[in-house]
Structure 1
Amino acid sequence: MAEMMGRDLIGVGRSNNPDPREAGAEAAHRAADMLRTADEPAWVLMFCGGKHDPSAVLAGLRSVVGSVPVVGGSAAGTVTSAGFGYSGFEVAVGLFPATLGLPDILVDDGLLEGEAAAGRRLGESLRGLAGDDRVVLLFYDSLAATDPPRLHPASPLVDGIYDGMGEGAGEGGRPCRPHLVGAGALTDMNLSDGYVFDGTRPKKHSAVAVVLPAAITAETAILHGCVPVSSFMTITDIDGAEVFELDGKPALDVIETMLGMDIADDDGRNLSLMVTLGEKHGDPFADYDENRYVNRLILQVASDRRSITLFEPDFRRGSVVQIMSRDNGLMVQSVRDGVRLMNRRVSGQRPLMALYIDCAGRASARSGSEIEEAEVLLDEIDIRAPLLGFYSGVEIAPVDEMRSRPLDWTGVLTVLCYNG
């Protein structure tokens, strides 16, 4: 990674101290040392590894920066220009000075009562705050229950947000279209727990939307490397996230025929490392562009029902999908190519910070890749601004010109730029 020259408008710091209070203070001190402005930090973006007590980390941070709003949440690991890791002790913070303006922070604590309803409430509030292209960061607690693990799905939350902002509402008003980027927070790769920081404290079953000041714009790239290996097929039978039929044939039969192998019930995890089910947005006949695909991991198979169960319940009867090859080499090349392209995209702008939201499953400990794709990111990025990244459960980013969507097995690289 290119060396950062001097100080930055946003300070980023990292610690992997096993003491949570010291980790929060260390990360804050290191971030403050990078701030160019004499202003005190006005708010903080923070991500904490799952082995830390978040309240203790927060106390350590505030011993350095005071009682400013803190947003973000748990993370399976972090990525900064100083390095990356997922031991569970990582803490990474970004300090934002008042010179850049103050964000609006919206919180909804009702995920347990319904993700779609929580999203609608956030969307209704966003509609009055976030105009077109305004950058909004969304963080939500990924874990609805831990024994057994049960997720808060992202798709009804995001759909609810767009409903609340006026998408298809028939109200006569024009829906707002912010640049929405975000993630589901989790503490580790085993889906043990999750939480978000809501501005004041860590919380469960909550979603937080951060409307950045109008002078901050964003460029975003979706990096996954999954490529289609089938023709377009229509989902003809589905219930929630369980897909029963593709083109009128049992879904598992179709997958087995494509792979040339029999798939047992306990092969679900191995299958997720080989293929995903992808939905292409925009012109279906346009050249391949990974930024146009929403891919869904296959969580499990049911040989008796000949079905596959996906990570999210957002595909519907009539959805047109393709089988996508998921390959570690393609993943790494996608990061290399996508970061180089982003370097060129922002070369004429005033970058403030690069935010990297990385699916925890892409870490080599989960994917089996011989190369850490986060290391490729650090090798290739050449943006004169600090980097703050973390490992997430779900990634959210703009997929087409209309809206953002939840993603699986994806790295989302967003560069915040100053347009003031």
Structure 2
Amino acid sequence: MERLSVGSGSSSLDDATAAGADAARAALAALGGVEPGLVIVYASIRYDFDALLAAVRGVTGEVPLVGASSSGQFTDGDYLPPGSAVSVMVLGAGVYRFGAAAVTGIGADVAGAGRELARRAMDAAGGDTTPHSALMILADGMAGDMQSLLAGMYRVTGARIPVVGGAAADDRTFSGPYVFFGDRAMRDAAVAVWIGSDRPLRVVSRHGWQPQTLPMLVTKVDGVVVEEIDGRPATDVFHEAVAKDTAARSELFANAIEGWHTGHSFGLIEPDGTQLIRAGVLGEDGRLRTFVPLPEYCAVQIVSAAQDDLLKAGEEVVDEALRGIADPAVLLVFSCVARSDLLGDRAAEESALLHKVSGQVATFGYYTYGEFARSTGVAGYHNATLTAIAL
């Protein structure tokens, strides 16, 4: 199979027009004259997106463009912290068949939006005619249950199509994220890219979180509110697992971002024994919430993460994503902003490590508010996890 041509660029210029054009020119120049097939843009919400996207398309032309607002980005080992930059990647045409699509108003019917998005992306790629395919999704994760978005997609594609991607972010401001499609920046929306391929496409995810309790049953939920675990108040169970004394319990809230103690989460136990991470939010009202509802009577453990374990998970993702693939060109990566929060002043180590382990393969990604990753298993929407696909 012919090797994909890729080019990337980034800019931290303050002016949106100048930054967009600067990053796009660098990406297109690195493509080496190959016809572009897809443009991916990740950007801080500090930019005027109308001006930014117009500037990018002024360089790349009418090539399909998708993207998302971020909470930091990384390109070829360089870490771009939240609020700082725009990154552009251009993928060459001809090796893969790309079909880009968008849907708006997803919050009104998340599953229905997933069905429509999958249909549109498949149609944009000319139908499901290649031997292998994958879907890359970028979505406003604040608009609804992203697991339902995936469920809607699988009503159209079937379970054989692997999915990768991330929920758009907003530099931790919680003012609302955006997704990009062509020259438009949209909220309450999702975009997808159908990737048609002559060879199998593999989606990989790892998190590095370790269990701190024995398995427990979630015995009562109300939407995203976890009310009981093992028949006891869920907040009490969570506190006991995280903090053993009053001082530690105070630290639980002192370290929180919008009530989320990123050092401890739920590990939802999958049928194969792996854990799907679900972040826990302790609100001022004393209730324990998750970003995605936990199924009633599911088995969970309280998990925590050490910095070295998080970085080791990155190595494992690269190793598995590239294993057995002849001459890969790029690793498209999606990492949760919770990971960069946990890594703290070591946050730049993740992007540097990913690129070092990837060798001659380009790396490109952003920090998300949730990750899409599913090849097998029941669920496909994650928190505090690193996901990737190699092309």
Give the TM-score band, short-chain normalised. 0.7 to 0.9
Residues in 2 aligned to 1:117 and 1:159: alpha-carbon distance in whole angstroms: 9
Q: Which amino acid aligns with 1:357?
A: F
CA contact (8 A) 1:52 1:89 kept: no
Is residue 2:117 matched to residue 1:122?
A: yes
Instruction: State yes or no: 1:320 paired with 2:299.
Output: yes
Measure the CA separation in 2 of the matches of 1:312 and 1:133: 30
Q: Secondary structure in 1 aligned to 2:344?
A: coil
Task: Sort the Cα spacing of 1:378 and 1:234 in 2 relative to 1 into closer, same or farther, 3 A.
Answer: closer
Conserved 8 A contact 1:122-1:164: no
Cα distance change of structure 1 residues 126 and 60 upon mapping to structure 2, 3 Å threshold: closer
Separation in 2, partners of 1:220, 1:60 = 32
2:149 equivalent to 1:154: no
Q: TM-score, normalised by structure 2?
A: 0.87
- 1:204-248, CA deviations, whole angstroms, 9 ceiling, x for partnerless residues? 211112101323643333232111122221111011111111111
Q: Letter of the 1:56 partner, please give it.
A: A
Alpha-carbon distance in 1 for matches of 2:284, 2:84: 37
Mark the CA change 1:49 to 1:106 in structure 2 (over 3 Å): closer, same or farther.
same
> How far 1:379 sits from its partner (Å)?
5.7
Contact kept? 2:166, 2:370, Cα under 8 Å: yes
Report the more deviating stretch, 317-326 or 196-205: 196-205
Letter in 1 for 2:68: G
Query: Does structure 1 residue 295 correspond to structure 2 residue 277?
Result: yes
Note the C-alpha offset of 1:127. Answer: 7.5
Distance 1:114 1:328, change over 3 A: same
Return the letter of the residue paired with 2:146. A
Q: Supply the AA of the counterpart residue of 1:138.
A: I
Paired residues of 1:40 and 1:98 also in contact (CA < 8 A): yes
Structure 1 CA distance for aligned equivalents of residues 351 and 81 of structure 2: 13
Q: Aligned residue for 2:136? A: 137
Out of 27, 30, 36, the position equivalent to 1:34 is 30
Q: What secondary structure does 1:212 align onto?
A: strand
1:354 aligned residue = 331
Partner of 1:184: 167
- Does residue 60 (structure 1) correspond to residue 55 (structure 2)? The answer is yes
8 A contact 1:251–1:308 mirrored in 2: yes
Q: Say if 2:201 and 2:390, in contact at 8 Å, map to a contact too.
A: yes
Query: Within 1, Cα distance between the matches of 2:285 and 2:175?
Result: 28
Q: Which residue of 2 aligns with 1:311?
A: 291
CA contact (8 A) 1:46 1:91 kept: yes
Partner residue in 1 for 2:272: 283
Aligned length: 378
Q: Supply the distance in 2 between the matched residues of 1:283 and 1:200 (Cα, whole angstroms).
A: 42
Change (3 A) 1:100 1:124: closer
2:64 is aligned with 1:69: yes
Question: How far apart, in 1, do the equivalents of 2:188 and 2:236 lie?
Answer: 37
Matches within 5 A, 1:209-288: 209-215=192-198, 217-259=200-242, 260-261=244-245, 263=249, 266=253, 269=257, 272-284=261-273
Residue 84 of structure 1 deviates from its aligned partner by 1.4
The unaligned stretches of length 5 or more in structure 1 are: 1-6, 145-151, 166-174, 285-291
Partner of 1:103: helix, strand, or coil? strand
1:409 counterpart residue number: 384
User: Once the two structures are superposed, what CA deviation does each residue of 1:302-337 show, in whole Å capped at 9, x if it has no partner?
Assistant: 776xx4211212x11111111112333321232244
SS in structure 2 at match of 1:295: strand
Identity %: 26
Is the 8 Å Cα contact of residues 355 and 414 (structure 1) preserved in structure 2? yes
- Looking at structure 1, the residues matched to 133 and 387 of structure 2 have their Cα atoms a distance apart, in angstroms, of 18
SS at match of 1:369: helix
SS of 2:175's partner is coil
- Which residue in 1 is equivalent to 2:176? 193
Whether 2:15 is the aligned partner of 1:19: answer yes
Q: Structure 1 155/401 Cα, relative in aligned 2: closer, same or farther at 3 Å? A: closer
- Compute the displacement of 1:123 (Å): 4.2
Distance, in Å, in 2 between the alignment partners of 1:19 and 1:342 is 36
Find 1:107's aligned residue among 71, 94, 102: 102
Residue by residue, what CA displacement relative to the aligned partner does 1:9-30 show, whole Å, maximum 9, x if unpaired? 1112222221111111111121
Q: How many Å separate the matches in 1 of 2:295 and 2:365?
A: 32
Q: How many Å separate the matches in 2 of 1:88 and 1:406?
A: 25
> Partners in 2 of 1:118 and 1:59 — Cα distance?
27
| In 2: Cα distance, 1:35 partner to 1:21 partner | 21
Partner SS for 1:202: strand
**Does the Cα contact within 8 Å between 1:278 and 1:322 map onto a contact in 2?**
yes
The verdict on how the C-alpha distance between 1:330 and 1:237 changes in structure 2, with shifts beyond 3 A counting, is same
Aligned to 1:388: 364
In structure 2, how many angstroms separate the alpha carbons of the residues matched to 1:404 and 1:352?
28
User: RMSD of aligned C-alpha atoms?
Assistant: 2.7
320-329 vs 50-59, greater mean Cα deviation = 320-329
Partner of 1:171: none
C-alpha spacing 1:215/1:20, structure 2 compared with 1 (3 Å): farther
Q: 2: CA distance between counterparts of 1:379 and 1:99?
A: 25
Give the CA deviation at 1:297: 0.7
Counterparts in 2 of 1:402 and 1:253: CA distance versus 1, 3 Å: closer
**Contact persistence 1:328–1:367 (CA under 8 A):** yes
TM-superposed CA distance for 1:338, in Å, is 3.7
- 8 Å CA contact 1:244, 1:308 repeated in 2: yes
